[in-house]
Amino acid sequence: MDFFAPEYGGPSGKSPGDSPERLLAQATAATRAGDMGTALDLLQRATWLAPHGSALLVHCLAWTRLARIGRYAQWPDGCGAVTPEMEAREPWPETSRLDEERLSRAYQAATRGNAANLSLDLNAGVILRVAADLPAAQSTLRSAVTAGSTPEDLNELLEVVTGRLSGLRGTLADPGLNPVAALVCRAMATLCHEAGMDERAAELLAEAEQRCAGDPHGYALALLMRGDWAAAIRTSPLLLDHWPVLSLGARTGHAEARVLPGRQIRPDLAERAYAAAERVLGDAAEDEIVAQRLLAALKLRRAYLARLAGDGAATVALATEAEKMACEAGDQRLRWTAWTHLALAAIAAGEPFDPAEGIGELAIWAHGPGSLSLAEGLGALCSQEGHHAARAGHYQRAACCHRLARRIHGALGFAGNEAQSVTDLGMLRLSVGDRAGAQVSLAEAAALFEADIRRRPALALRESVRLVDILLEHLRLLNTTGGDPDALRRTADRIRSAMARLPLLNDDPEPADLEDEDDDTLAPNLDELLEAWLLVKNAGDALEAAEVHVPASRAAAALARGQAREASLLFTEAMRAADRADPERRDLHRAHVLGRRREWARAAAAYRAHRAYRAHQAGRAAAFGMPDLIEPGADTLVRAGEHELAAATFLSYRAYADAEIELRALRGLLGEDWWRRSLEPWTALEIEGETARGLAAETRAAGRGPGVGYGRAVGFYREALRSIEVVRGEAARRAPADPRVVSRIQFGAAHCLLQAAEAARSEDAARADALAAEAFAVGERSRDRAFLDLLEARRATGEAEIPALAGWRAANAEVALPQHLAATRLAGGEPPDPRLAERSARAEQRLAALEKELARDYPAMWRELDTRAEPLGAEAVARLLPEGTLLVSYLLREDRLLVWAIGDSGPLVSRVLDVDGVAGLVRAVRNACANGGDPDGPARELAAVLLAPVHEALVTHRDVLVVPSGALHSLPFGVLPWRGAPLAAQRTLSVLPGAGALPFLRPVLPKALAEGCLLAVGDPAFMRAPGAAGEPGRHARRLPASGLEAGMIARQFPGEGEALLGDAATKDAVLAAGASVLHLATHAWLDESSPLSSAVLFADGQALQLAELAGAALGADLVVLSACRTGQGGVSPGDDVRGLISGVLATGARAAVITLWPVHDLATALFMTDFHRRLRTAGSVPEALRRTQEVFRRRSPAQHQRAVMRLLAASGDADGRLADARAALAAKNAEYWSWLDTASHPRTWAAFVAVAARRSDS
């Protein structure tokens, strides 16, 4: 039988005059070329025309079965099984049964009353028992091997799948049937090879070669198979030796198909076989289609061998040739397989390759004339290549493969597979510590699954299982990254919705019968049911926890805001949810709620009860003789993990003695240096260090010694900080460690060092000073990630990366992935892999070169990002401070506050304070100021906490630089009372993001103003606030007074001043101006979930995000943001202002003025024109701001009114926009002008904050 027919023509229409013989010939040619869709169309018409009871009808139906398998159940290497995606498109069990029944009836009719027809039997038998059954049999054996079946089981399975073939082979002794016999032998050899029966496979292949002695095509095909076996020891060169598994769940990074014992890749033997095949085909005519297809197949194998040799350029070139040859020979299956190999080779070689056109053509081919299953398999191959690249430590290559897989599945319309590819990318990102990127990917994948479930009910069960798995991972990420309660609630609700699609897996005592389901849902197989059952159990536990965690988190937030009543109600709700929990976890959830309420003793007692219950249950299981499912070798590690978790939990409840008991048990299991075996040794060391610190503090409080135990605690914390640096290499920002964990450890280390310093003060002052200085340096290190953390928060909302940083982040991941893999091997007790070390070193070199480019092109932004630079020590800070200047640095975390005060003579104060409710007090002060209330009460409480420890230092210093932390970023320090008056009335104040900003800030001197140029933007036309994704933004109201503000400031500027008003106030004009002073008087839109996504609004709906501003490299001497609503909002108190300061300084600004809350536009105009006028003589930005604030604070309403009249009169009407603005102000009602009555309230003057510093000449 000739399986290599010439090219077929196009479909000839549906005319009854068509010949069924001609249609069958065309269909068989189409099938051999891989155009299964066309073949099915032709065969449908041929079947309709073929006479009933004829051999022709039997042939048509046999080829129909083969073509249908090729369209829906065959992957690139011939192996294949029906995937859920294909089963949803073609109800396979029913279709297969109907095909078999129709063929059986046709065969019986054709042979009724006639003698056996050998020709008919052979044709139908070869098509059905060899070509049609081979893909599924091959897939069955491959699955069994991957699952770890024993040789005996594989042999038994092989006997089953080859039984019919053996019988067929026995009827082919006639030499005239050699081509058919060779085909059967090759099929049997394929199955024996899949089962690991290599000797038997070799014998069958040798027999096939003998049978093909006069058939060059068959002989070359046998040689090609022999070469494939030598080149690929798992699957096939067409699959790059992977097995492209389409995962059911969200867990990705599957291991490769198992390598059977005794197999090894032999490129030399493969090359020898391929060369022999080429020689056999060498005499074929150029137009001989069969030879051309085989030569194209051999060319693709050459590309694979080049890949094995690591020759990327040769792989690309050979794959390109193979695709061209296959296309010319009309072999569509090989053509698209070669195209996919080419795309993957280009990704591996880093060569430019745009797959867009090819993907579009592939989708058209698959849905039209071609094979849907082959296209699906090619997408799966891209995913598997991504997993392979990730296991080898190639992050960028893996990410590109997953993106390519997503694009292929998306173009094909396979939404579930597309969602899985997005999940693969998310899990890859998670493996390198990119939790923000992982959250975005998992959320997107979940949305794709949900849409697919709504669109295709047939896949509801399977897709719901995958969806639940992804949402559980997303829920875990939300919990580990701070747990926004609203996001937790939304995710929990989505899990419930997805679980509702799994009715067969609930606790109903009488579950419905699968056969009785009266819907289109595909029935699950046993493996899917088992995975679904496990997922439902895990989901139930997660939802139970969410019912507790959501109200508990909301309660803690309410408590921080000072809303005690609301917090109490929410804590009650959380405790009721804990009481309803399963007994096994009830006390665990109670402990969580009590811990959030800061009832440490009760929380620890509840957790002890949980531990006791678990121990009791384990004892009962042992008493009843229940089998231990844990492998003996793993039992120690499991128990060690339980002790480590218990120690960490007790620590969170400040039960240090309990934590020490757990640690003793842990040390007894793994040794004193147990932390060395941890995948994240820094967290293990933190547990040891914090436990030792807590015990030392309790000892000191009890009067049993001034500093017993602090040395041990400090040692552990120092080792924790070193372990972070070791794992992260030279750059202290690219480990897969959670940034929040790193920040927590750094705070804990600074806290421990300061406590040790206080304990040592009475006995060794020099040592105490050294510890306090070390604590300051560690505290500054913890601030280094501020800008990077804000970038992460922005990316977690789905915002695109800043273009300048996209390559940098990818290069970081290239370093992090091999480091993560190496750490995983170490934790698992495996020896180091030198290939990973080599790859990491190369990635480090590439990253270093890229960072040099960033530092050159974006120096200010790079300073905000570069956490590798050593932080400024206390002595270095003192040298940078001018005479009479004091730097006060706060580090706040929960109820612990660290305070340092440093003057130009050196460190003056270092304190550890236990505080409570600071965030609530800050909110109360800010709200009172912003809303015209009385901030005096909470301001006095804050002054007692923040100013009292540094009182003596404040007395002797005129200028004060404040470095806030957390919620303190949003506090107007100037309103705090000190010695009977607001602090701003007595001291010149400025805010810094960290002491490290000192070397880069410059005073704005009068000479620089006179020689510089100013750009003022005000009253833009048609402002629009950005809308949610896919939604139009809202129009923002006009700010006519801001036009007067910009015009007056530009007019009175001593140098060159320009005002952009109305339609001229565009984003592009601002970015291109190159002004030394930039003043933006416009609306600002605040993104509470992502401060760096907050934006300043310009004309015609344009917006400039802070992240974009950071990448603009403006380099201005002074940036003033007097925008209405600037700095308001933020899920984490203070993040809004921190984001604003970081974003502005990242532009290269030497000084800035920002606004903490909305200020009346006319009051702002009056304040800012006065500020710019005083700037010419004050000598510094903070001093000019202080004088302006003091004037505003002391003015009477009448004086403010006269100042406004002067401003309006001086603005003039030469500019049409200004004249229009004056007219608009004149038309305002009395309510608009009521601000004059309270203009001296902090609502106006305290809103403005200077970010600036003078430097010592030394």
List residues bridging with 9 in a β-sheet. none
Residue 405 lies in a domain: no
Question: Among residues of the chain, what percentage have pLDDT more than 90?
Answer: 39
- Which pLDDT tens digit goes with each residue over 131-140? 778 888 888 8
Using the predicted structure, report yes or no on whether residue 513 has a pLDDT greater than 50.
no
Least confident of 283-297, 541-555, 1133-1147: 1133-1147
pLDDT at residue number 509:
41
Using the predicted structure, report yes or no on whether residue 510 has a pLDDT greater than 70.
no
1055 and 1151 share one domain: yes
Using the predicted structure, report yes or no on whether residue 735 has a pLDDT greater than 60.
no
Using the predicted structure, report yes or no on whether residue 279 has a pLDDT greater than 70.
yes
1016 and 1164 share one domain: yes
Residue 254 lies in a domain: no
pLDDT (mean) for 651-677:
94
pLDDT (mean) for 368-380:
94
1056 and 1102 share one domain: yes
944 and 1055 share one domain: no
pLDDT (mean) for 761-782:
92
Position 432 confidence tier, pLDDT thresholds 50, 70, 90: confident
DSSP 671-726: -TTGGGGSSSHHHHHHHHHHHHHHHHHHHHHTTS-SSTTHHHHHHHHHHHHHHHHH
Least confident of 20-34, 58-72, 277-291, 974-988: 277-291
Domain count, the chain: 5
DSSP 581-625: S-HHHHHHHHHHHHHHTT-HHHHHHHHHHHHHHHHHHHHHHHHTT
Residues 6 or more apart whose CB falls under 8 angstroms from that of 1233 comprise none
Residue 783 lies in a domain: no
- Which pLDDT tens digit goes with each residue over 1008-1061? 788 889 999 998 888 887 654 445 557 778 888 888 899 999 988 988 999 999
pLDDT at residue number 1129:
39
1067 and 1175 share one domain: yes
Phi, psi of 991 (to 5 degrees): -115, 140
pLDDT at residue number 630:
46
326 within 8 A of 378, measured Cβ to Cβ: no
- Which pLDDT tens digit goes with each residue over 1149-1177? 888 999 988 888 889 999 999 999 999 88
pLDDT (mean) for 362-371:
94
List residues bridging with 978 in a β-sheet. 981
CA distance 437 to 425: 9
- Which pLDDT tens digit goes with each residue over 783-807? 876 666 666 665 655 566 666 677 7
Residue 1058 lies in a domain: yes
- Which pLDDT tens digit goes with each residue over 665-711? 999 999 999 988 887 889 999 999 999 999 999 998 887 766 668 99
pTM score, whole prediction: 0.78
- Which pLDDT tens digit goes with each residue over 940-997? 999 999 999 999 999 999 999 999 998 899 999 999 999 999 999 999 999 998 888 8
Question: Among residues of the chain, what percentage have pLDDT more than 70?
Answer: 83
pLDDT at residue number 1223:
72
1200 and 1216 share one domain: yes
Task: Please tell me the total number of residues recorded for the chain in this structure.
Answer: 1258
Structural tokens at position 559:
């408590």
pLDDT (mean) for 225-250:
85
CA distance 1256 to 662: 52
Last residue in a domain, options 759, 789, 823: 759
Position 121 confidence tier, pLDDT thresholds 50, 70, 90: low
CA distance 1094 to 805: 18
CA distance 780 to 965: 11
326 within 8 A of 293, measured Cβ to Cβ: yes
CA distances from 264 to 231, 261, 310, 454 (A): 8, 9, 17, 47
pLDDT (mean) for 140-146:
86
57 and 85 share one domain: yes
Kindly list the strands in the beta sheet with 1056-1062, ordered across the sheet, starting from the edge strand earlier in the chain: 1056-1062, 1013-1020, 1077-1081, 1118-1121, 1152-1155, 1248-1251
pLDDT at residue number 517:
43
Structural tokens at position 1079:
């003043």
Determine how many CB atoms are found less than 10 A away from the CB of residue 150: 9
- Which pLDDT tens digit goes with each residue over 166-181? 766 766 666 667 777 8
pLDDT at residue number 518:
42
Position 431 confidence tier, pLDDT thresholds 50, 70, 90: confident
970 and 1012 share one domain: no
pLDDT at residue number 850:
83
CA distances from 343 to 379, 488, 1004 (A): 11, 39, 55
Using the predicted structure, report yes or no on whether residue 14 has a pLDDT greater than 70.
no
896 and 1032 share one domain: no
| CATH number of the domain enclosing 912 | 3.30.420
975 and 1014 share one domain: no
CA distance 63 to 797: 52
1101 and 1169 share one domain: yes
- Which pLDDT tens digit goes with each residue over 463-487? 777 788 888 887 887 776 556 788 8
CA distances from 1151 to 451, 876, 1020 (A): 49, 21, 24
Using the predicted structure, report yes or no on whether residue 736 has a pLDDT greater than 60.
no
CA distance 899 to 968: 12
CA distance 476 to 607: 21
Residue 600 lies in a domain: no
- Which pLDDT tens digit goes with each residue over 445-463? 888 888 888 887 767 777 7
Nearest to 76 by CA among 225, 237, 229, 301: 237
Last residue in a domain, options 759, 774, 790: 759
Residue 1141 lies in a domain: yes
Q: Which domain holds residue 1162?
A: 1004-1179+1196-1238
1088 and 939 share one domain: no
Nearest to 35 by CA among 12, 80, 66: 66
Last residue in a domain, options 998, 1032, 1052: 998
Residue 904 lies in a domain: yes
Residue 648 lies in a domain: no
pLDDT at residue number 729:
43
